[in-house]
Amino acid sequence: MTAEILSDEPVLTLDELCRACGLTELTVKTYVEEGVIEVRGVDATHWRFSQVSVVRIQKAWRLERDLHLNAPGVALALELMSRIEELERRLQSRANDV
């Protein structure tokens, strides 16, 4: 069974993204407003999302549901998480150099 790498290309419409994530338009729009996912296009009818957004938005939704967060809280948590990951990567490459 061959897996496909999720691409960064903005290809999905809002409707397709909602169906792929199993979430409502309202939820997705809130995440877009909070900058949880990146979007191309001027307005909702022209929005295009990447496949990577599907995974990111599902993670956001799990955090919101399981930890009773609101959307700005989720956005902050995700930002701090990627900051931690970046720092851990740097620590790791330092550890390798020594």
**Binding stretches for another protein (CB under 8 A):** 1-6, 19-22, 51-52, 54-55, 58-59, 62-63, 65-68, 77, 81, 85, 92-93, 96-97
Distance CA 15, CA 38 (A): 16
Considering the complex, what minimum distance in angstroms separates the CB of residue 43 from another protein? 27
Q: What are the residues whose beta carbons fall under 8 Å from the beta carbon of 79, sequence distance 6 or more?
A: none
Nearest to 74 by CA among 44, 48, 42, 35: 35
CA distance 92 to 86: 10
Considering beta carbons, is residue 6 or 46 the nearer one to another protein? Answer: 6
Of 29 and 59, which has the nearer Cβ to another protein? 59
User: Considering the complex, what minimum distance in angstroms separates the CB of residue 84 from another protein?
Assistant: 9
Alpha-carbon 52 to chain mean position: 7
CB of 36 to another protein, least distance (A): 13
